[in-house]
Homo-oligomer: A and B are copies of this chain.
Amino acid sequence: MTEEAYLRDYDPKAFDSPLLSVDAVLFTYREGQLKVLLVERSNHPEMGKWGLPGGFVDLEADGTLEDTVIRKLQEKTGVVPPYVEQLSTIGNRSRDKRGWSVTVCYTALIAHQECETHIDTVSDAKWVNLKDLEKLDLAFDHKSIIAAGRERLKQKALYSIVPAYTLPEKFTLSDLQHVHEVLLGKPLQKKSFRRRIEQADLIVDTGEKSAEKGRPAILYRLKPEASRHTFIRNLEL
């Protein structure tokens, strides 16, 4: 048989295959707290429970898996988060009552200011403090996915400034240090932190200053190469 004949007769539903979905752990930082976006499930199974934003691939609309996540996140937040990175894929027979199920998970970061108003209009989405998650009973294995996302972000805090994407476009080094401290769960030395960031050479002085009490701080912005525009990490080499 030729490949043409094979492809002509190919029936995608001839074989049983797992259910495939996509989920996103969207983090933000506000008032000293790390928060995750949760969505109330409006369909079975686990209807009524809160869980991660996500869903199924739209074979027509989506060209890649990243298109799917971004589409789903935009539905809930109104915007495309500036940072999206694949986290892990989980697939087994027990995580979904419907049967064998696979979910491709992503972590995403955004400044809460970017989507505050839109989330308020969407009644089925809300920010939840990571600290308050323990009490909640989330859908599927979403709680452990969030834990994995948080762990990944913690690692990033050790050797990168990726957590900066949880902040507004212009931010101070003190802000950034606070985010890192929350992620790492311990205070950092101001000097060391600043030295590391200066060496990395990933941010640039905007010339503006913050207006809090005390000495005003320089407002920085991420350099264009680490640009604030849908930085998608999946197989870039």
Contacts and interface: CB of A to CB of B under 8 A. Distances in A.
B18 A18 contact: no
Contacts of A215: none
Contact of A12 (B3, B16, B56, B92): B16
Contacts of A44: 1, 3, 6-7
A92 B104 contact: no
A88 interface: yes
Interface in A96-145: 97-100, 102, 104, 144-145
Given A3-B44, A57-B100, A88 B234 contact: yes
**How many protomers of this protein does the assembly include?**
2
A32 interface: no
A185 to B, nearest CB: 14
A59 interface: yes
B7 A97 contact: yes
A45 B98 contact: no
A100 B6 contact: no
A88 B89 CA distance: 8
Given A12-B19, A45-B3, A65 B89 contact: yes
A151 interface: yes
A148 interface: yes
A64 B91 CA distance: 6
Nearest to A5: B44
A12 to B, nearest CB: 6
Interface string A34-49: 0000000000111100
Contacts of A174: none
Contact of A147 (B1, B18, B151, B237): B237
A104 to B, nearest CB: 5
Contacts of A12: 16, 19, 98-99
A206 interface: no
Contacts of A15: 56
Given A3-B44, A89-B89, 13 more contacts: A3-B45, A3-B46, A3-B47, A7-B44, A12-B98, A12-B99, A18-B57, A57-B91, A59-B99, A63-B93, A89-B234, A91-B104, A144-B237
